[in-house]
């Protein structure tokens, strides 16, 4: 154990820290799994057991906390698994994830939730936690869930994934009355989508152009469902987390405020909605088919404005891998979702290079706010005494996404051919270097996330 401890003494020197809304040069010392000091850069001697990382020219950020991923295990492991997707996440600078319940079996019982945690403790490269899904009939399971270990109840209000659609009025009512956990909602009105699907199928058949996707899963479907969820939450006093907002109109439902700890309604934006617009359907087709869909450039701009104005509090990925074969099916058979978790940070930093966001804002939305909103203790910030979850980024080391540098089990990305100016160099989880100098080290440092509620 002595050897392990020495190995984990690390001094990161001369990094530009981007943390808590500002930037400054500093040295950060790690001992074991913790940050033990954050101090002005200095030239003194370090003791022999300390590994020194010269971070001159690099940025040091808190590790990303991604509150919305689908890692496909158990049951859908031909698309991805906890080991492969958490490794890809580590390569992207992500140090913690919260995973959604639409696996097989679905995570709608405490037993299924427990089994996932056992898998992750063994297989995950990074910190983990798992949502529990709300159904028409599992309220007793939800009420027994430990609020210190479960991030939230995931609710599909009108989604088409699996059979987790909650439609019974009394079930919805009792889920919104749960006070021990927040409710995270996928809001798309199923009735509107069914009617649109039927009309488009009738007019164009099965193999319709993917550019119709935002008309079928229409903005009205999102707005109607989000409005209903907010009204319900306000009535019941529920803490509501609106997942993957996609329309300009929905940003108008949110309340501004740069202290998300006091907000009742939390808005989540996803990297693909901040990156793509509908001009990409011609080239990418079903590869950029997401629920809710990629929409107009004016929607993308409204979402970015909402991020800047603190209407949207969290940026996540909704990482949802499918095989290329599955995505190449005709429109109605091609599944929605795409792999994102290896590229989310460099995508957002690219928007910084373009002047659309700032690195401080990216750190707030991807690191600080998830920690604040979910009450994750000792993570999400670069602070003395906190867990050493850190990422070093080279802001000027251009690279291009290619098949050979994709780590997702599915082996593809809608970003192939895209050049990013920033590159993740090293990712440290609980003091362990899981990704170093642009390579996975083969080490794992999984800890279950704890929520101080
Ligand atoms: Zn999702």
Please state the domain extents for the chain: 2-60+386-397+420-440, 64-373
Cα 131 to middle of ligand 1, angstroms = 11
Widest CA span in the chain: 74
Residues with CB under 5 A from ligand 1 (ion): 318
Regions of the chain short of the pLDDT cut 70? 1-7, 42-44, 158-165
Cα 100 to middle of ligand 1, angstroms = 7
Global pTM reads 0.96
C-alpha–C-alpha distance, residues 415 and 390, integer Å: 25
Using alpha carbons, select from 122, 99, 89, 94 the residue that is nearest to residue 407. 89
Q: Which CATH superfamily is domain 2-60+386-397+420-440 in?
A: Urease, subunit C, domain 1 (2.30.40.10)
> DSSP 3-state assignment of 126?
coil
C-alpha–C-alpha distance, residues 14 and 212, integer Å: 50
Q: Into which CATH architecture does domain 64-373 fall?
A: Alpha-Beta Barrel (3.20)
C-alpha–C-alpha distance, residues 15 and 57, integer Å: 7
223: enclosing H helix or E strand: helix 219-236
Cα 264 to middle of ligand 1, angstroms = 21
Cα 180 to middle of ligand 1, angstroms = 22
Using alpha carbons, select from 308, 292, 299 the residue that is nearest to residue 249. 299
Cα 346 to middle of ligand 1, angstroms = 20
Q: Which residues contact 332 (CB under 8 A, 6 or more apart)?
A: 197, 201, 206, 207, 208
Cα 244 to middle of ligand 1, angstroms = 8
Instruction: Output the CA–CA distances (angstroms, integers) from residue 68 to 140, 194, 242, 260, 379, in the order listed.
Output: 24, 26, 11, 17, 17
Cα 398 to middle of ligand 1, angstroms = 30
Q: Which residues contact 214 (CB under 8 A, 6 or more apart)?
A: 278, 293, 294, 295, 296
Cα 240 to middle of ligand 1, angstroms = 15
> DSSP 3-state assignment of 150?
coil
Decide if 2-60+386-397+420-440 and 64-373 have a common fold. Answer: no
Cα 171 to middle of ligand 1, angstroms = 21
Cα 366 to middle of ligand 1, angstroms = 16
Cα 344 to middle of ligand 1, angstroms = 15
Cα 151 to middle of ligand 1, angstroms = 14
> What pLDDT was estimated at residue 4?
44
Cα 290 to middle of ligand 1, angstroms = 9
Cα 206 to middle of ligand 1, angstroms = 25
Cα 211 to middle of ligand 1, angstroms = 21
Cα 437 to middle of ligand 1, angstroms = 31
Cα 50 to middle of ligand 1, angstroms = 41
C-alpha–C-alpha distance, residues 350 and 344, integer Å: 10
Q: For 252-270, write each residue's pLDDT tens digit.
A: 999 998 899 999 999 999 9
> What pLDDT was estimated at residue 380?
98
**Alpha carbon 353 to its chain's center:** 21
Q: Tokens 């800047």 map to which residue?
A: 308
């Amino acid at each position: 154990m002595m050897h392990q401890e020495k190995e984990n003494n690390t001094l990161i020197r001369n990094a530009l820290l981007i943390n808590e809304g500002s930037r400054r040069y500093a040295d950060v010392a790690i001992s074991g799994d913790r940050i033990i000091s954050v101090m002005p850069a200095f030239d003194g001697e370090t003791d022999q057991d300390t590994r020194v990382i010269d971070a001159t020219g690099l940025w040091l950020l808190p590790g990303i906390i991604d509150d919305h991923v689908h890692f496909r295990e158990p049951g859908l492991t031909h698309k991805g698994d906890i080991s492969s997707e958490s490794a890809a996440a580590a390569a992207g600078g992500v140090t913690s994830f919260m995973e959604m319940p639409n696996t097989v079996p679905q995570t709608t019982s405490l037993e299924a939730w427990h089994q996932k945690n056992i898998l992750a403790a063994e297989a995950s490269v990074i910190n983990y936690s798992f949502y529990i899904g709300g159904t028409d009939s599992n309220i007793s399971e939800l009420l027994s869930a430990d609020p210190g270990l479960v991030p939230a109840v995931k609710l599909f209000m009108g989604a088409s994934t699996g059979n987790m659609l909650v439609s019974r009025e009394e079930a919805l009512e009792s889920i919104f009355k749960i006070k021990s956990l927040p409710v995270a909602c996928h809001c798309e009105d199923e009735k509107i989508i069914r009617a649109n699907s039927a009309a488009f199928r009738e007019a164009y058949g099965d193999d319709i152009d993917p550019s119709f996707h935002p008309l079928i899963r229409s903005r009205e479907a999102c707005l109607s469902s989000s409005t209903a969820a907010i009204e319900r939450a306000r009535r019941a006093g529920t803490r509501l987390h609106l997942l993957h907002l996609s329309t300009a109109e929905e940003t108008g439902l949110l309340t501004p405020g740069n202290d998300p700890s006091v907000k009742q309604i939390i808005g989540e934006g996803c990297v693909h909605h901040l990156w793509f617009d509908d001009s990409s359907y011609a080239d990418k087709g079903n590869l950029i088919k997401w629920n809710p869909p990629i929409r107009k450039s004016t929607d993308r701009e409204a979402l970015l404005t909402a991020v800047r104005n603190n209407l949207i509090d969290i940026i996540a990925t909704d990482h949802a891998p499918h095989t290329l074969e599955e995505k190449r099916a005709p429109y109605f058979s091609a599944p929605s979702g795409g792999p994102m978790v290896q590229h989310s940070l460099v995508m957002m930093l690219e928007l910084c290079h373009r002047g659309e966001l700032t690195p401080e804002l990216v750190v707030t939305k991807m690191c600080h706010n998830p920690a604040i909103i979910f009450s994750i203790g000792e993570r999400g910030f670069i602070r003395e005494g906190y867990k050493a979850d850190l990422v070093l980024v080279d802001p000027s080391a251009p690279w291009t996404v290619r098949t050979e540098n994709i780590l997702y089990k599915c082996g593809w990305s809608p970003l192939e051919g895209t050049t990013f100016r920033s590159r993740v160099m090293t990712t440290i989880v609980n003091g362990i270097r899981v990704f170093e100098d642009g390579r996975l080290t083969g080490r794992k440092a999984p800890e279950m996330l704890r929520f101080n509620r």
